[in-house]
Structure 1
C-alpha cells in the first residue's frame, strides 16, 4: 500500500463554518480511505521540515483571524523547500457586510470593510489557492481581492448527525400539531434591525404564534418576540457539533430560512436548504435576485415584496399533505443529485480533489 497523503488543517475559531467547511468532512478521511489521505487537525503551527516534506497541503482557515497572517507567512517561507501547497478557505463576504453585521464593528475602527479588504489583499497573496463556498463569493474574491486561483467547494451536510434516512416518513398527521423551526443565527437580528427577517416574516410569525397555529422553535429569543415569551419554544444555545442532533430532536415539519437582500447574503451558501432536506423538513426561504435559494421550487420561496397574507397562503398550501410530500421528495432528490451528504462517495471525491489532490 502506498504511503498515505498527509494533510495539515488549521481551523480558526471552531465556529459553524469551521465544522461545516472542514472539520466534519475531514472526519470521513480519518479512517482508511480510497484516497489514502491522512488529515491532521491542529491549532498549533507545524514547522518541522521532515513532517512538511511528507505533507501534500496545509489549509489555514479564515486568514485574517488573529495570528493566522503570521502563520501563513511562516508556511509561505517553507512551502517551496518542502513542496506542499498552502491553501485557505473562506465562507463569508467580510468586506461587503450586511448593515447588521457592520453594526457590530468596534467603534474605534473606521470603515471596517475597507480595512478587511486591504488586509485580505496582503494576506491572500502568499496562498497557492483560495477555496470558498459559492460562485458569487468566488467572483468577488477574484475581482475585489485580485486573487487568480479561486476554487468553489459547495457546503455539505452530515447524514449521520442530522439523521437523514430515505425511508424516514416525516408526514403531517391530522392529530399532530405542526412544528415550525428557525435555526439561524440570532446575531443577524437585534433591536433596531430586523436583519434577515425583513419582509413579511415577523408579522406572520407573531400572528401565528399568538393564534397557536403551530409550535414555533428557535434558539434563544429575538427582540421581536420578547413580549410573546411562553407562547413559543426557546431552545438553549448549543455547541456547533451538537447543533444537528438538537435540531433533529425537534423533528420539525417546516424549516425557515429568511434572508435580507444584500451582497453579504448573496455570497452565502444554500446550507439551510440542505439542512432542511437532511432533517426531512419542508424548507421555506427568502427569494430575491441572487438569493442562494433561488433554484428551489417557487412554492417554497418568499419574495421580499410578499405580504403577510402571501406568506400565510404559501404556508397553508405546503400544509396540504400532497404538497408537503412533494416538497420532501424534491429535497431528497436534491441531496442525492447534488451529492450534498458528507457520506456520499462523490462528495468525498470532490472534496478530496479540491483540498488534497
Structure 2
C-alpha cells in the first residue's frame, strides 16, 4: 500500500456509544479536531462512507468492536475498497468477548455456544483489517493465541479537561469519602461478581458503623436495607461522568475485580480515573490483574479478609500514607502519560491509528 500520510481524513465508526467507545476512540480523536502536527481531520460517525471520492481523501478508517452486529458487513465493504482508494482499515476493541466472566456469561445463556460464535466471527473478520488494536497486553496475547491474529496495544487514557484541574495537596480531614464508580451490572444480590471476597462485608460494616461516607453510582443490590446511610449518585452520561465524580471530591476510589480471564483482559482505567480525581486507588490483585503494578499497600488480594482489608484501609487513612499514595499516582500520570491531552499520549495514539 502506498503512503497515506498526506491524506487529511480519518473516519471513526464507534459501535454503540458506550464508555469504551468514548474512552478508546471518541475522546482521544476529539483532541485532533483542531490544527495538529499530524495533519488529520477526524470524522466520528455511524454513517458508512461508501463514496470513493471521500475514501480517496481518507488516511484511515477505524471500525470499533468488529464482532458487533453489522460490523462484519461494514468491514467487508471497506476491505473491498481500501486497496483502490489507498487507506488503512483498523479495528479496535477492549473486551475478551469470547471468554466471558461468570456474571456476564449469565446474560448470554440464551445464546447457545456464545463464546464460540464470537470467536468464529472474529476469526472471519479480523483478517480484513490492516491493524488490530486493543487496550492491554493480555488481550493482545489472547487475540494472537486464540484467533491467530497479531494485535498491537494502545493503552487507555483519561481526560484532564473532563476530570478537572483539582489537585490533592493535603490529606483529608474528617470522615473519608469512599467512591465506587464501576459497573453494577457485573453483580447481583445472588452473584457478587467483582465484589467477591472481602469487599461487601467491609463496605457494609463501614457504612453501618459510620466510619466512611460511601458514594456509588446507582443502587447496589448488596446494600439493600442500608438506603439513606450512603450516597447513591444518579447515573449520568459518559461525558458528564468525570465532572460529576469530581464534584464529590472522593478521598478513595474502589476498583474490585473478580479473578477471571475477562477481568485479566481489562485495562487499568479505574486506577487512572482515581489519579485524575486525586483520590487514593484501592483495587483487586490476582495473577495478571490489570492493577498488579500498583503499590501492594493499595491492593486487595484473594487471601484478604474483611478485617485485613480494614487494616489496609486504615493504614492508607494515615496522612503520610495517604499522601504517599497520591504522589505515586500523580507521578505515574506524568511518567506514563495517562492524560489524553499529553503530547506523548497523542503521538503514540497518532502512530497507532493513522501514522
Tell me which interval the TM-score lies in, with the shorter structure as reference length: over 0.9
Aligned partners of 2:12, 2:144: CA distance in 1, in Å? 24
Match of 1:286 in 2: 284
2:200 and 2:222 in contact (8 A); partners too: yes
State which of 56, 80, 90 in structure 2 corresponds to 1:87: 90
Q: Deviations over 1:267-320 (max 9, x none)?
A: 000000000000000000001111000000000000011011100000000000
Aligned equivalents of 2:172, 2:239: Cα separation in 1 = 31
Matches of 1:204 and 1:173, distance apart in 2: 21
1:260-339 pair list within 5 angstroms: 260-339=258-337
Partner of 1:124: 126
Alignment correspondent of 1:140: 142
One of 8, 14, 17 as aligned partner of 1:5: 8
The Cα shift of 1:5 comes to 2.2
Partner of residue 160, structure 2: 159
2:175 maps to which residue? 177
Aligned length: 351
Structure 2 counterparts to residues 164-313 of structure 1, below 5 A: 164-165=165-166, 168-169=167-168, 171-174=170-173, 176-313=174-311
Question: What CA distance in whole angstroms lies between the structure 1 residues aligned with 2:145 and 2:352?
Answer: 21
Q: Give the drift of 1:331.
A: 0.1
Matched, 1:21 2:24: yes
| 1:77 and 2:77 are equivalent in the alignment | no
SS of the counterpart of 2:128?
A: coil
**Structure 1 residue runs of 4 or more that deviate by more than 4 Å after TM superposition:** none
Aligned-residue offset at 1:177:
2.2
Q: Could you report, residue by residue, the CA deviation over 1:237-284 in whole angstroms, capped at 9, with x for unpaired residues?
A: 111111111111111000000000000000000000000000000000
Find the aligned partners of 2:113 and 2:6 in 1 and give their Cα distance: 49
Distance in 1 between residues matched to 2:266 and 2:165, nearest whole Å: 23
1:61-114 per-position Cα deviation (integer Å, ceiling 9, x unaligned): 01122211111110010001001011100100000010001001152x112111
Q: Please list the CA deviations of residues 215-244 of structure 1 after superposition, one character each: whole Å capped at 9, or x if unmatched.
A: 100111111101111110011111111111
Distance 2:109 2:312 in 1: 40
Q: For the residues of structure 1 that align with 2:160 and 2:291, how far apart are their CA atoms?
A: 21
**1:76/1:127 contact within 8 Å kept:** yes
SS of the aligned residue for 2:107 comes to coil
On the 8 A contact 1:170/1:281 being kept in 2, the answer is no
How many Å apart are 1:173 and its aligned residue?
3.9
Deviation at 1:164, TM superposition (A): 4.0
For residues 28-86 of structure 1, the C-alpha deviation after alignment (integer angstroms, 9 at most, x for no partner) is 10000111111011100001111111111100001122211111110010001001011
8 Å contact kept, 2:7–2:59: no
Residues 1:61 and 2:64 aligned together: yes
Residue by residue over 1:151-174, the C-alpha shift from the partner in whole angstroms, topping out at 9 and shown as x without a partner, is: 100000000101145xx2353343
Given that residues 13 and 62 in structure 2 are in contact (C-alpha distance below 8 angstroms), is that contact kept between their aligned partners in structure 1?
Answer: yes
Aligned residue for 1:32?
35
Q: Is the 8 A contact 1:198 1:304 kept in 2?
A: no
Structure 1 spans left out of the alignment, 5+ residues: none
SS of match in other structure, 1:276 = helix
SS of the equivalent of 2:83 reads helix
- CA offset at residue 4 of structure 1? 5.7
